[in-house]
Structure 1
């Protein structure tokens, strides 16, 4: 029987990110995905700044950006009467190039290390796949289905099936990660229920290719063109698009003609090739637990959201990195058994808060839809849309401000802090280097001024990098000693350390 430290069920972005994270810490893993290849469905179209920071740590950010929308293109969200009508209000957001300039100019800890990225999941998955297929510590298999598992005190025995031949095999692992989506077999076998609301709304997705930019970007480049009847997403600002709309009332959805739906929304004939079209349901669901013994849930198996805000995959990337470094620390003997218990304690509240945020953003869209129905004057409608705002794409507190100490941040405004549990603020130092880029792969101790780091260094049970910072940005970090975890969250801070062993017990036990 094959033995492996970690088995990952599911080869979507979350499963592949977990595999890459484990490999970066020297942990072998086996990833299995029942589908024969990466997805053809667009699913998500924004990788937020926090996920990009984490992808940078994993060494894949440049390859991801190479398949994304050109960096000079904006992230604008535009409400219109129709593509043949007029633009009502445009919420303007900077391009990657413009955002990088803003990050450097402000340098006050409020900004991300990396701007967000406009890209379809269709494009992300092959990049992540290449990053693990070429890694000697990852055994990644597509066309292999996860079927069942049993666990005992010492490990997990899983049953796998090769889809093409039907042949089955059993593998033994220390830990199993269920990254197998909304219909998770792993979650089902653990007997973990979902709380919240299923099938909140019925949607119809049409993913298509067209060169008709004069029609599909009638008011200039924009990430989203939106009406009360749906959203047209520019996947690459060139020839690939996705329309997310509602099935017409009273229509037999399985027999919908996607060409007719698409042309009705656009409002005029145009040349196109439909790639994928299907109905689907939105959900607002959260797993009751993220763990059962040696088995963990991450990504859509743990939470499912309405896409407003883009929290689905992005929350899952945070899950994968949090779980990955904790599994690695446990397997390498750096941590006590309590560290794995902190995965659910930290990530489930984030999952819950992001579900609420997605629901709030959907509520705003519903209000805008009601405005379309009762306001005929486009100038009045435009003012009302502007007044409601677009927190859906401006909730920096949700994106960067989430904390693991029980404090609920402002969902819109991000306030930099080094309170233990918070994400480390990102700044650029006097020499032009990014502080984030000087962090070590495991733990990093930031030392400001003449603070004495020796108690923490002498007691360190895990690899520890020391970064001395003599720089004007020092006040942003609020203490003279700041201990940073592998996921760039603050583990501990203080102006002095009297008992290094006690600190490390708290951080790793």
Structure 2
């Protein structure tokens, strides 16, 4: 048995979530040992958009600018085309989505708190993983072990025991650690070892993915430059999609099929031509190289529990939740998992946080997963509705030069333009609130604000991500936040901030005091004089004033997980303590 030093975290799985978790732990000074059954990073394209909230996280970690160098150039927009096939003269409609430059201009010109700090970034997961692995390889706090598979995980006498096997020799080793995080995907051995069930499962269909190279841009861009094209099939339903991975020569198609279709018998070139042919004959063009192909089944599932019974094992990413690709929530949800769990584990290991932090992980992240899985299904239903719009005859009639066709195309256009949230739903990405025992509410917080999946509504309601805006000198307010905890103060008057700073020092809690009393716009958006911001940029607590050192101590102990109960219960024994 290999006995790891106290505080070293074992990570099962070296995909994007496992690698990112290792980096988050390192960012906060904690060592990790990662095991991945494959000998290198993925060849599969998988995810192709790192969303705006994820890019805010990468900025916090100091990685955003370097990640952008790996992806699609910022000047290229990312149109999404809805098409009956590339043989048609023009698409049915399209969503005009901005590239990074246009999105950044939108953010700078809309300084009202509704926008993210960072635009999204297109980058294939195959590239993303290689980039992140190199960063982790160079990090002295991260020990990467590729070519070792996880066979079993269990809790025993206050530790986690992980059985690993060398994929070449079969030699087994048991590794003992304080904590294990299963980032080992949808078929997670970590999850199955602990007999944690899933709610949900596969959708009764399958897809044939073909990843290929082609420079035949004249034919591929026949209906215009694109990021995605969603295509109808011979049945008149949504049956395929193509993704431009790098705006040069790398593409991925997905051919959606019934379960009995025997996709293994469909030749790769023909699958690509069939997708792009849409309602018509296969659309042929020059394919230079087939890179990889695979058959996959869409899953919609969320695990019952995200941590083990004794609290030494956690699940993150696809091991905890799986959803269909529409909306791009899968890996981006996993990024949120890694950031949330990473700072909490580091706080506990470093002695700044108590067990309540780790208990809060499932309470905070599982509702986000449930919400996003449901929203992803809503996006998928938009494409399914297209078949209904074209029912009542030959679906190819929509491309005819007739008045009926023009009216039908207009209906399709209006429907898609009014249901275009698939990559625009900032409310889903940023407008959620954590609700756990380490989030504190005041009497004057009132009712929880309405959460619109479409739009992010600026609010500092505890548990949520606060609004981004540029301060009077042009500095993004998030860049003022500290690495650890931050206390934002929007008044020169002493309303208890000195108590908070002193209490944090007494508790050994790393806290940055940020005085923004001269920032009128920020003060209006942030709604209170005092706001306590967690390391993950979420609001832990807010108040107009606090007058008692005792209540400050209780607040800090609660938000840092040292009191595993609500603040009102914690202070109810002393009637002299009142929240302000």
The normalised TM-score by structure 2 is: 0.85
Larger displacement relative to structure 2 (228-237 or 20-29): 228-237
From 229, 239, 252, the counterpart of 1:242? 252
Q: Deviations over 1:110-152 (max 9, x none)?
A: 1111101111101100111111111111111111111212313
**Structure 2 matches for 1:179-190, cutoff 5 A?**
179-190=183-194
2: CA distance between counterparts of 1:497 and 1:443?
A: 18
From 109, 114, 117, the counterpart of 1:113? 117
Aligned to 2:554: 502
**Structure 2 matches for 1:30-49, cutoff 5 A?**
30-49=33-52
From 419, 422, 446, the counterpart of 2:488? 446
1: CA distance between counterparts of 2:248 and 2:164?
A: 41
Deviation at 1:364, TM superposition (A): 1.1
Aligned to 1:458: 502
* 1:124 equivalenced with 2:128 (yes/no): yes
Distance of aligned partners of 1:139 and 1:302 in 2 relative to their CA distance in 1, 3 Å threshold:
same
2: CA distance between counterparts of 1:104 and 1:251?
A: 49
* 1:51 equivalenced with 2:54 (yes/no): yes
Q: Deviations over 1:316-353 (max 9, x none)?
A: 00001100111111111112211111000000011111
2: CA distance between counterparts of 1:28 and 1:166?
A: 26
Is the contact made by 1:6 and 1:30 (CA closer than 8 Å) also made in structure 2? yes
Is the contact made by 2:92 and 2:413 (CA closer than 8 Å) also made in structure 1? no
2: CA distance between counterparts of 1:414 and 1:40?
A: 35
Query: 3-state DSSP class of the match of 1:109?
Result: coil
From 450, 455, 477, the counterpart of 1:435? 477
Query: 3-state DSSP class of the match of 2:86?
Result: coil
Q: Deviations over 1:173-212 (max 9, x none)?
A: 1111000000000000111101023234311111111001
Larger displacement relative to structure 2 (218-227 or 377-386): 377-386
Query: 3-state DSSP class of the match of 1:87?
Result: coil
* 1:383 equivalenced with 2:410 (yes/no): yes
Larger displacement relative to structure 2 (183-192 or 62-71): 62-71
Q: Deviations over 1:218-246 (max 9, x none)?
A: 22222111112211111111100111121
Deviation at 1:377, TM superposition (A): 2.9
Is the contact made by 1:204 and 1:277 (CA closer than 8 Å) also made in structure 2? yes
1: CA distance between counterparts of 2:72 and 2:493?
A: 45
Is the contact made by 1:77 and 1:224 (CA closer than 8 Å) also made in structure 2? yes
Aligned to 1:216: 220
Larger displacement relative to structure 2 (105-114 or 78-87): 78-87
2: CA distance between counterparts of 1:373 and 1:214?
A: 32
Distance of aligned partners of 1:188 and 1:207 in 2 relative to their CA distance in 1, 3 Å threshold:
same
Query: 3-state DSSP class of the match of 2:102?
Result: helix
Larger Rg: 2
Aligned to 2:444: none
**RMSD of aligned alpha carbons:** 1.6
Q: Deviations over 1:422-460 (max 9, x none)?
A: 012111111111111121111011111224311111111
2: CA distance between counterparts of 1:396 and 1:324?
A: 24
Is the contact made by 1:451 and 1:481 (CA closer than 8 Å) also made in structure 2? no
Distance of aligned partners of 1:491 and 1:249 in 2 relative to their CA distance in 1, 3 Å threshold:
closer
1: CA distance between counterparts of 2:95 and 2:172?
A: 53
Is the contact made by 1:10 and 1:33 (CA closer than 8 Å) also made in structure 2? yes
Deviation at 1:252, TM superposition (A): 2.5
Aligned to 1:96: 100
Aligned residues: 509
Larger displacement relative to structure 2 (437-446 or 365-374): 365-374
Aligned to 2:284: 269
From 227, 230, 248, the counterpart of 2:240? 230
Deviation at 1:153, TM superposition (A): 4.2
* 1:281 equivalenced with 2:285 (yes/no): no
Aligned to 2:440: none
* 1:23 equivalenced with 2:26 (yes/no): yes
2: CA distance between counterparts of 1:384 and 1:285?
A: 34
Query: 3-state DSSP class of the match of 2:145?
Result: strand
| Runs of 5+ consecutive residues of structure 2 not aligned to the other structure | 233-238, 278-282, 400-405, 437-447, 562-580
Aligned to 1:488: 537
Deviation at 1:358, TM superposition (A): 1.0
From 334, 346, 367, the counterpart of 2:385? 367
2: CA distance between counterparts of 1:200 and 1:397?
A: 30
Aligned to 2:91: 87
Aligned to 2:15: 12
| Runs of 5+ consecutive residues of structure 1 not aligned to the other structure | none
Q: Deviations over 1:65-84 (max 9, x none)?
A: 11111111112111122112
Aligned to 1:260: 270
Deviation at 1:249, TM superposition (A): 8.3
2: CA distance between counterparts of 1:32 and 1:262?
A: 35
Aligned to 1:158: 162
Aligned to 2:351: 333
* 1:398 equivalenced with 2:428 (yes/no): yes
2: CA distance between counterparts of 1:304 and 1:381?
A: 35
Is the contact made by 2:241 and 2:275 (CA closer than 8 Å) also made in structure 1? no
* 1:422 equivalenced with 2:461 (yes/no): no
Q: Deviations over 1:52-96 (max 9, x none)?
A: 111111122122111111111112111122112121111111110
Q: Deviations over 1:379-427 (max 9, x none)?
A: 3343233333222122111111011138572111210111110012111
Query: 3-state DSSP class of the match of 1:334?
Result: coil
Is the contact made by 2:206 and 2:258 (CA closer than 8 Å) also made in structure 1? no
The normalised TM-score by structure 1 is: 0.97
Distance of aligned partners of 1:213 and 1:492 in 2 relative to their CA distance in 1, 3 Å threshold:
same
Aligned to 2:280: none
2: CA distance between counterparts of 1:411 and 1:263?
A: 36
Distance of aligned partners of 1:451 and 1:206 in 2 relative to their CA distance in 1, 3 Å threshold:
farther
